[in-house]
Structure 1
Amino acid sequence: MKTKQFLRKLRRRGVGITTGRGKGTHLLARRGRRMAIIKFHGGKDLSKVYMQLVCKQLGLKLEEL
Structure 2
Amino acid sequence: MQAREPLIAGYVKVEIRSRLPKTWGWSILRDANGVVLRHSDEPFKCAEDAWQAGQAVLRTLAISADAA
Q: How does the TM-score come out when normalised to structure 1?
A: 0.31
Q: Larger Rg: 1 or 2?
A: 2
- Greater per-residue helix proportion: 1
The answer to which structure has the higher strand fraction is: 2
- TM-score, structure 2 length as denominator? 0.30
